[in-house]
């Protein structure tokens, strides 16, 4: 009664109709012993109260019993809060026994790490090799893959950064300056049920990338894996700067708190669809045994089974067993002339489409195309599966940005300190392309991309420096021109300027020599003309000599050829 009174006071404060409050209090629960009429009346009354309580603008047709709050099959559907991500035993069993579950969990982590990363900073090749050696020696890629897998399976996982010589400083922030060379020893991965528990104290520093997440984690050796590093310390607290987090699907704030700041398992999202597919597959397998049903018709069989003696029934059973034995071994069937035998065949038309629909539902739930999840060839006219792969790789890239990039951003400086003794000032990295093209396609791509650059360069619209920068930018897509760096571009630009100066000198000398030769020729022609006419000279009509302009034209053409070279 006290609870009802408190509820009534709360409802009155909300300003609801007193009659509605009264109707809510008079609602009766449906009992198993109720008649069909009583159940119908109670459902109608509940639907009326719910409609008045929750909404006033939804569609409803009382005569057809359709719409919001009406007693029909559609309105009987519910979405209960299950929180399956907490069912550790169920997900273990599904991961071990279902190849579809294993494919959902393992495929994305494998593809996210398949082509790894490229350090794009201006670091010496020897330094990059040392970083890669540390990554390979400590099996970083393998541990990151485990973290991503358990994060997708259980909704959460974590990895402890192992630094040699700092065993007694795990509850302190990880300072990069305190990491000595060769002290990084790898990662120790825990799933959310294997002994690592987030603390209640949260990070309040808004400049911290982990702002709003737990500040400390407690590792319980009694529940964790049998590892000497853990077993020697029993329970210990770890600062968040030494932890790499791997979570499942993101959840709303209150649900995230319910999951102790982890995420939702990928299997929980696809759980119902997986059950539908598995049930369908099992039923289809059972129907195979019923593809051919053999029917034997016998006179007075019902009377014989109902009123005959036990001995007669045993004799009938022996006869049928002998007939079945003869048919199975010799391919003949012996029966009385009054009896009849027939075989009914079952057709499976339409079942494939039904099975395909369940496969599509699973693929949609786990964000993976059917061709990738089930290994099927693309169907349809002229279908190559190209669009499916493009969509899938876009999804993988999105997950790399959301789940893997923060982890590598946190881990890579630690590896650099251990491998190099310092973190490069311009440390930058990027994911390698997910899709690998063939050598022929790569060459065709490089040819098609370089052709426009050559055309505008030969036309004199861009300089050699700009052309080389364009080739360098194309190296990421084509995999070619990787040896072109900023120093090479600068050197080639300086050489190009020197060549232009040389061409200018040659141009000047060529022009002077041509002009001098023309003057000498003109003087000789004048002298010979005056010597050949000792008598009175006749007036010679003036002519326009264009030989000088022809020489200039030839010089200009030669300069054009030099520029093209």
Q: What is the pLDDT along the chain (565 residues), one digit of tens a residue?
A: 344 444 443 444 455 667 777 777 888 787 777 887 888 788 788 777 776 666 557 788 888 888 877 888 888 888 888 899 999 999 999 999 999 999 999 999 999 999 999 987 778 889 999 999 999 999 999 999 999 999 999 999 999 999 999 988 999 999 999 999 999 999 999 999 988 999 999 999 999 999 999 999 999 866 555 455 565 667 889 999 999 999 999 999 989 999 999 999 999 999 999 999 999 899 888 888 877 777 778 777 777 777 778 888 888 888 888 877 777 655 666 667 777 777 777 777 778 888 888 899 999 999 999 989 998 777 666 666 788 888 999 999 999 999 999 999 999 999 999 999 999 988 899 999 888 777 777 788 888 888 888 888 888 888 888 888 888 888 777 777 777 877 888 888 777 776 655 555 555 566 556 555 555 555 555 555 555 544 444 444 444 445 554 545 555 555 555 445 4
C-alpha closest to that of 295 among 345, 348, 347: 345
Could you give the CA distance from residue 246 to residue 189 in angstroms, rounded to a whole number? 10
Could you give the CA distance from residue 449 to residue 348 in angstroms, rounded to a whole number? 53
Torsion (CA) 388, 390, 394, 395 in degrees, nearest 10: 20
Q: What is the 3-state secondary structure (H, E, C) of 92-108?
A: HHHHHHCHHHHHHHHHH
Could you give the CA distance from residue 515 to residue 507 in angstroms, rounded to a whole number? 12
Structure-token pair, residue 150: 């358990």
Beta-carbon contacts of 127 under 8 Å, excluding residues fewer than 6 positions away, are: 419, 420, 424
**3-class secondary-structure state, position 344:** strand
Strands of 406-558 (E only): list them: 429-431
Could you give the CA distance from residue 166 to residue 239 in angstroms, rounded to a whole number? 12
Entry pTM:
0.70
C-alpha closest to that of 243 among 180, 192, 207: 192
Could you give the CA distance from residue 446 to residue 508 in angstroms, rounded to a whole number? 40
**3-class secondary-structure state, position 361:** helix
Do residues 69 and 75 touch, judged by C-beta distance below 8 A?
Answer: yes
**3-class secondary-structure state, position 61:** strand
- Sort residue 195 into left (φ over 0), alpha (ψ -120 to 50) or beta: left
Radius of gyration of the chain (CA): 43
Could you give the CA distance from residue 284 to residue 25 in angstroms, rounded to a whole number? 50
Distances (CA, A) of 114 to 120, 247, 371, 396: 18, 20, 19, 11
């Amino acid at each position: 009664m006290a609870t009802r009174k408190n509820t009534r006071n709360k409802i009155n404060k909300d300003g609801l109709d007193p009659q509605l409050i009264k109707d809510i209090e008079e609602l009766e629960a449906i009992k198993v012993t109720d008649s069909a009429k009583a159940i119908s009346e109670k459902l109608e009354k509940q639907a009326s109260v719910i409609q008045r309580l929750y909404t006033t603008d939804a569609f409803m047709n009382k005569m057809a019993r359709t719409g919001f709050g009406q007693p029909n099959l559609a309105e009987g559907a519910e979405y209960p809060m299950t929180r399956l991500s907490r069912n550790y035993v169920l997900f273990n069993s599904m991961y071990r026994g279902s190849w579809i579950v294993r494919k959902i969990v393992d495929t994305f982590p494998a593809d996210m790490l398949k082509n790894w990363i490229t350090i794009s900073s201006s670091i010496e090749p020897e330094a990059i090799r040392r970083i890669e050696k540390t990554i390979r020696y400590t099996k970083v890629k393998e541990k990151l893959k485990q973290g991503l897998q358990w994060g997708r399976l259980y909704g959460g996982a974590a990895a402890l950064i192992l630094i040699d010589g700092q065993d007694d400083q795990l509850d302190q922030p990880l300072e990069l300056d305190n990491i000595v060379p060769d002290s990084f020893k790898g990662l120790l991965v825990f799933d959310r049920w294997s002994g690592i528990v987030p603390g209640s104290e949260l990070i309040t520093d808004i400049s911290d990338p982990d702002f709003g997440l737990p500040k400390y984690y407690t590792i319980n050796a009694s529940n964790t894996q049998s590892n000497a590093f853990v077993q020697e310390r029993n329970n210990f607290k770890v600062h968040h700067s030494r932890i790499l987090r791997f979570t499942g699907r993101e959840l709303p704030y209150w649900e995230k708190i319910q999951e102790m700041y982890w995420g939702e398992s990928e299997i929980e999202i696809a759980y119902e669809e997986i059950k539908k597919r598995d049930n369908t597959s099992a039923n289809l397998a059972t129907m195979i045994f019923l593809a051919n049903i053999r029917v034997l018709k016998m006179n007075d069989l019902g009377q014989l089974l109902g009123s005959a003696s036990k001995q007669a029934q045993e004799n009938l059973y022996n006869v049928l067993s002998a007939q079945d034995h003869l048919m199975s071994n010799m391919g003949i069937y012996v029966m009385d002339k009054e009896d009849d035998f027939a075989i009914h065949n079952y057709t499976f038309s339409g079942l494939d489409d039904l099975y395909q629909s369940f496969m599509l539902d699973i693929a949609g739930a786990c964000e993976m195309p059917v061709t990738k999840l089930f290994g099927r060839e693309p169907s349809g006219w002229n279908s190559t599966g190209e669009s499916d792969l493009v969509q899938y790789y876009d999804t993988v890239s999105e997950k790399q940005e959301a789940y893997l990039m923060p982890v590598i951003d946190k881990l890579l400086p630690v590896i650099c300190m251990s491998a190099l003794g310092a973190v490069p000032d311009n440390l930058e990295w990027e994911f390698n392309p997910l899709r690998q093209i063939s050598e022929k396609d790569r060459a065709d791509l490089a040819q098609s991309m370089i052709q426009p650059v050559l055309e505008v360069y030969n036309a004199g619209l861009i300089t050699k420096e700009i052309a080389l920068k364009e080739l360098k930018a194309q190296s990421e897509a084509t995999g070619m021109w990787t040896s072109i760096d900023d120093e090479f571009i600068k050197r080639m630009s300086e050489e190009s300027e020197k060549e232009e100066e040389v061409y200018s000198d040659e141009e000047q000398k060529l022009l002077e020599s041509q002009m001098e030769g023309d003057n000498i020729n003109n003087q000789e022609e004048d002298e010979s003309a005056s010597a050949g006419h000792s008598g009175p000279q006749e007036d010679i009509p003036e002519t326009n000599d264009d030989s000088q302009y022809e020489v200039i034209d030839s010089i200009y053409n030669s300069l054009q050829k030099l520029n093209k070279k």
